[in-house]
Amino acid sequence: MKHFFLGVAVLSTLSAAGQIDTSLYNSLQIDEVVVREEAAGLTLNAKSATLDLNISRKELKKAACCNLSESFETNPSIDVSFTDAVTGTKQIQLFGLAGKYAQIQVEMTPLVRGLLANSGLNFIPGTWVQSIQLTKGIGAVNNGPESMTGQINVELLKPEDLVDAAEAPGSEGRGDILLNGYVNQGGRFEFNEAYGVRLNDKWMLASLGHFSGRQQGTDMNGDGFLDNPLGYQVNGMLRARYFGQNGWEGIYTFHALEDVKQGGQMLSAFAPGTSAEDLWSSTMKQGRLAFTAKTGWVNPDLPDQSVGTILQLYSNEMDGAMGNSTIDPAHASSLYGLQNGGMAQVLFRHGWGTWSQTSGILLTADQYDFDFVQTDLGTTMGWMEVDLGLSTEWTYAPSDQFTAVLGARYDWNSIVSHQVSPRMHLRWEPVEKHTLRLAAGRGFRNALPLVEEWGRLATNRTLRSQPSSLYHVLGGSYLNMEEAYNIGLSYAWNFTLNYMPGSLQLDAHSTEFGQTVVQDYWTPGQRYLYTQFTSSVEPIRPMTSNTAGASMTYQINKRTEMRLAYRYQDLSVVYRDEFGIVAQDVALPAPFVPKHRLMAHLSREFKGGWTVDATLQRYGEQPIPGIDPSAYPSVEMAPAFNLLHGQIRKAWAGGDVYLGVENGLNVRQGNAIDGAVNPQTGEALMPSAPYFQSYFDATRIWGPIFGRMVYLGTNLVL
């Protein structure tokens, strides 16, 4: 296949036959957009009513490593950061808001959700990814209620991607086996595999495999703690693809993974004779089994009419512990969670010339069981969450210049009962190549506050909740509903200058929460969790995000591409002043969100298959929780810093080799972990030390822990 389709969703490959673009699961995609392989890696879909960016496989290769959370490193819209200094979990932010407020899906099914809300991004190996569609602003209504800031859909390699590559004229049979190996200075290694085979004219199979790990620990900052946790991940997927006659097709996927991480203090950093049982440690073991069946049908006589179904069953499990439960039980916690669930969806699309509609029924059911142990707060609980949603979305596209999409969904949810979420998207191209878009809508989700912020338990701050019973900190209560309204306006201009293509994009987005679970760090020594509502007396939103961004891409000449972006983010959260110091709720900036973000990216190709690229990211000052015990609110500002990533790649017909550096300027956060070392002598402290017990906190993390890191990798196409 020389070209691939943008914005294609689950059943996209109905169009692999070449005639029909069903786009069944993303009806906002008006037209198929054909992108040449050598086109830019990051493309804005000009015809879509939503602000959609497509991130191609070529672009993903520029990311150093290794999984989905890191694949946004060259993307100006999304920030990637650590949740804490010990668990190695990376999270993303869109509009300064945590990734959980964006709906992250794999081929339109949930993965980064429920027990995997915190870690799911780490379970999608980058080399499995075919493309990513990023929608900034509220997403399509048929995919569920959970999109508030945006939507990220990841398309993985399908059997036909591999088989078609090998069968394409001129490929000489190459392309159905992809191998990848990677190793870095931090001791991480990785091996990935993708293999596709055609069984007959109707069936194809593929396997995707991943094994990664880290066996060798490092402690670059000498605080006695591992910079990155040790452990391994085994992850595999088997996929069967069916293309039948009369418009039938299906894809059936089995997914299994196990991930084990072990972080905390390093035995070798302490005096001989120290036992591992004397140290602070963090462990987390996660597993998933899932089966997904998708079947679709396009009416061969009426290509505007199609039906698609998705059925998914899954089981996610987590088992983690943090701290040292023998020496310092007051500050140790453990969490076991099990989520068994599934989803069933039916979507029906019908078009009549300038009008089209997509309607759907979506049923999700999740049985959660938790066992949380912490001094005074231990609890075991389980509950079932069921959501039955009906949605419909109407598209009116009278001309190429104008598209209006109006949609709404009604959800009956077993926890929060009746919910209605309207959404609207308008696209107007008054002058060719100048496009204006307006989007607005509502979304909601039920939070699992401790699961989603597990890494932030790596602290000796006292965990408190309001109401004081812990049940709603685990989830399942009406108080855990988070609800937001998002409105976004954008302008895009695609220009040609000096025969070369470029684009300019301006956008402003506002997200206002009507209800949210607040993670309050502003009282020294405490971490306080509670639900904030919009008060009926004073209609102040409990959390708001206002952002404005400008980005420009331009191909300077036939081999050089540049990208510049700036974003302003203003986040405000209304906190309860529990101790009555200022005697009222107080609006403060959200922690760990810089106000100013800059990105510059340059890539150049050379003859002979060489490519060089570099990305500079600037993070402005960001508010972090302070340590002054007498202050309220205790806010400090972390300094601004720059991250420089670069890579050199040499490609042949049979693959490539790449050498790169992450954090080339060797920026490192000093004192990433409070209380870890004796402030006088600088020696690492054990959890038995009173100073450690009073001050230990690994969650005030704002910058890189590991300094400059060099990596080497290779892709083989067989």
Partner 1 sequence: MKKILLLLLVVGNSFAALAQKKVEITFQTDGVCGMCEKRIETALLDMNGVWTADWDQETHATFVVYNPKKLSEMDLYKAVAAVGHDTPKVKAKDEDYAKVHACCKYRDEEVVSAHHGG
User: What value does the CA radius of gyration of the chain take, rounded to a whole number of Å?
Assistant: 25
Q: What is the closest distance, in whole angstroms, from the C-beta atom of residue 54 to partner 1 in the complex?
A: 20
Q: What is the closest distance, in whole angstroms, from the C-beta atom of residue 134 to partner 1 in the complex?
A: 27
| Amino acid letter for position 335 | L
Q: What is the closest distance, in whole angstroms, from the C-beta atom of residue 610 to partner 1 in the complex?
A: 13
Which of 201, 417, 499, 630 touches partner 1 by CB under 8 A? 499
- Residues 689, 695, 701, 707, CA torsion sign: negative
In the bound state with partner 1, the residue whose beta carbon lies nearer, of 19 and 642, is 19
In the bound state with partner 1, the residue whose beta carbon lies nearer, of 112 and 163, is 163
Applying the rule CB under 8 A, the residues between 672 and 701 that interact with partner 1 are none
Q: What is the closest distance, in whole angstroms, from the C-beta atom of residue 558 to partner 1 in the complex?
A: 5
Q: What is the closest distance, in whole angstroms, from the C-beta atom of residue 19 to partner 1 in the complex?
A: 11
In the bound state with partner 1, the residue whose beta carbon lies nearer, of 18 and 272, is 18
The helix/strand/coil state of 469 is coil
- Site size toward partner 1, by CB under 8 A: 9
Nearest-angstrom CA–CA distance, 338 and 336 = 7
In the bound state with partner 1, the residue whose beta carbon lies nearer, of 300 and 629, is 300
Nearest-angstrom CA–CA distance, 604 and 659 = 15
Closest CA to 40 of 23, 62, 55: 55
Q: Give burial (CB, 10 Å; 0-12/13-18/19+) of 398.
A: exposed
Q: What are phi and psi of 35, to 5 degrees?
A: -115, 125
Q: What is the closest distance, in whole angstroms, from the C-beta atom of residue 196 to partner 1 in the complex?
A: 21
Residue 121 to residues 78, 100, 116, 288, 667: CA-CA distances in angstroms? Answer: 13, 11, 8, 13, 25
Nearest-angstrom CA–CA distance, 435 and 503 = 11
Closest CA to 376 of 410, 428, 333: 333
Q: What is the closest distance, in whole angstroms, from the C-beta atom of residue 607 to partner 1 in the complex?
A: 7
The helix/strand/coil state of 497 is strand
Q: What is the closest distance, in whole angstroms, from the C-beta atom of residue 703 to partner 1 in the complex?
A: 41
Which of 2, 277, 468, 537 touches partner 1 by CB under 8 A? 2
- Which tokens is 23 given? 């786009």
The structure tokens 């104008």 sit at: 402
The helix/strand/coil state of 479 is helix
State the first-to-last Cα distance of the chain, in angstroms, to the nearest integer: 17
In the bound state with partner 1, the residue whose beta carbon lies nearer, of 170 and 273, is 170
Query: Under the criterion CB under 8 A, does residue 504 sit at the interface with partner 1?
Result: no
Query: Under the criterion CB under 8 A, does residue 201 sit at the interface with partner 1?
Result: no
| Amino acid letter for position 553 | T
In the bound state with partner 1, the residue whose beta carbon lies nearer, of 346 and 500, is 500
Query: Under the criterion CB under 8 A, does residue 169 sit at the interface with partner 1?
Result: yes
Q: What is the closest distance, in whole angstroms, from the C-beta atom of residue 2 to partner 1 in the complex?
A: 5
The structure tokens 């720059």 sit at: 642
In the bound state with partner 1, the residue whose beta carbon lies nearer, of 497 and 712, is 497
Applying the rule CB under 8 A, the residues between 592 and 611 that interact with partner 1 are 607
In the bound state with partner 1, the residue whose beta carbon lies nearer, of 153 and 555, is 555
In the bound state with partner 1, the residue whose beta carbon lies nearer, of 166 and 327, is 166
| Binding track over 523-562 against partner 1, x by CB under 8 A | ----------------------------------xx----
675 contacts 696 by C-beta, under 8 angstroms: yes
Q: What residues line the site for partner 1 (CB under 8 A)?
A: 2-3, 169-170, 499-500, 557-558, 607
